[in-house]
């Protein structure tokens, strides 16, 4: 729970400005509530950060590459990091960090290779794409 406890502004505290101040206080109180909730663990990668998480299912074979997907933002990523990897064929999770070889072309991430994986296995991978 957030330790920020903002005081709400009320029109009754400013009776001489009541005609115009209620609109200001409504927006100000709403904004302060949003900020308080955000600092109480309500920030998410998908809604608030210049990053995205992309999940891809594919078969690890030379004919599967390149893997290509459109990015959420119209900006070149500065990093593509695997954060989850499951070998669906063997029913196991990776114990080693795979290396993703990628480029950015025309609004898409293009993956030309993912090293350290078992050939001819089906995988699900989640990638954290970080923008600068």
Cα 51 to Cα 42, 80, 115: the distances in Å are: 16, 10, 23
Q: How far apart are the two ends of the chain, measured CA to CA in Å?
A: 30
Q: Is the pTM of this model over 0.85?
A: no
Cα 115 to Cα 52, 62, 107, 119: the distances in Å are: 22, 11, 24, 10
What are the tokens at 104? 């950015």
39-72 pLDDT, tens digit each: 777 777 777 789 999 999 999 999 999 999 999 9
**What distance in Å separates the CA atoms of residue 38 and residue 48, rounded to the nearest whole number?**
10
Predicted pLDDT at 94: 81
**Residue 26 confidence (pLDDT) above 70:** yes
């Amino acid at each position: 729970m957030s330790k920020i406890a903002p005081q709400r502004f009320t029109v009754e505290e400013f009776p001489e400005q009541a005609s115009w101040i209620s609109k200001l206080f409504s927006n100000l109180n709403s904004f302060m509530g949003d900020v308080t909730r955000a600092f109480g663990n309500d920030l998410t990668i998908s809604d608030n950060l210049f990053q995205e998480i992309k999940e891809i299912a594919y078969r690890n074979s030379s004919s599967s590459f390149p893997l290509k997907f459109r990015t959420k933002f119209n900006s070149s990523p500065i990093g593509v990091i695997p954060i989850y990897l499951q070998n669906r064929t063997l029913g196991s999770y990776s114990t080693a960090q795979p290396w993703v070889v990628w480029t950015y072309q025309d609004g898409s991430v293009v993956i030309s290779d993912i090293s350290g994986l078992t050939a001819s296995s089906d995988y699900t991978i989640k990638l954290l794409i970080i923008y600068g």
